Amino acid sequence: MSRERKPVLVVVDVQNGFITEHSQPVVPVIADLVRRWQAAHGDVVFTRYLNYPGSPFERLIGWTKMTDGPETELVTELAPYVGPHTPVVDKYIYTLFTPEGTRLVDERGWTDLYVCGIDTEICVLKTAVDAFEHDLTPWILKDACASHSGPEAHTAGLFIAGRFIGANQIIQTTSLLESVPRMLC
């Protein structure tokens, strides 16, 4: 028995504090993807990473950024697409699968998670792997992901993702956009 497919576009941590010369080029790709996805009446969920004093990121990695202010906000290019039916999940961990994120996935019946955003090798990867482990179907949109650390980290993230969720689950946005009208009907 096959279950009905219900896709969602997951936009991971496209926040001011993660924008560098390496990640900036993916922002217009993501904004266009979100615009097209919403125009086809598809569900979108954004994640926003927030750090805090004493977090494992601070204690174990020495990373103290992304605690408040403009660096934690989604980039302005995505602001027009956030609304009452497009949730933003604030998270203190790598993945969408916080209690709130898990509840959203369950309540909305999402089965296929099309994941894009920043950083490929960290939060994008963890979200895709967690979707896999929740018996969902993850897809990584490789040309709609980047690493603020550079292309080597992005490429490493895609390689590891292929090992975790299957190389066929890593696709280009063009492949997705060709099938969006059929998928969302």
The DSSP call for residue 44 is E
Q: How far is CA 144 from the centre of its chain?
A: 9
Q: What is the rounded CA–CA span in Å between residue 144 and residue 16?
A: 16
**pLDDT-derived band at 1, boundaries 50, 70, 90:** very low
CA quadruple 114, 129, 137, 84: dihedral, nearest 10: -40
Query: Residue 115 has which token pair?
Result: 């994941």
| 3-class DSSP string for 76-141 | HHHHHHCECCECEEEECCCCCCCHHHHHHHHHHCCCEEEEEEECHHHHHHHHHHHHHHCCCEEEEE
Tell me the CA distances in angstroms from 111 to 59, 118, 128, one per residue in order: 35, 22, 12
Q: What is the largest CA-CA distance in the chain?
A: 48
CA quadruple 127, 37, 3, 130: dihedral, nearest 10: 0
Which CATH entry fits the domain spanning 7-184: 2.40.30.10, 3.40.50.1220, 3.10.20.310, 3.40.50.850? 3.40.50.850
Average pLDDT, the chain: 94
What is the predicted pLDDT for the residue at 56?
95
Report which of 8, 42, 59, 28 is spatially closest to residue 144, judged by C-alpha positions.
28
Whats the size of the chain, residue-wise? 185
Packing angle, helices 173-184 and 26-39, rounded to 10: 10
What is the predicted pLDDT for the residue at 153?
97
Q: What percent of the chain has pLDDT over 90?
A: 89
Please compute the mean of the pLDDT values over residues 66-72 and round it to a whole number.
94
**pLDDT-derived band at 132, boundaries 50, 70, 90:** very high
**pLDDT-derived band at 141, boundaries 50, 70, 90:** very high
What are 7-29's pLDDT values in tens digits? 999 999 999 999 999 999 999 99
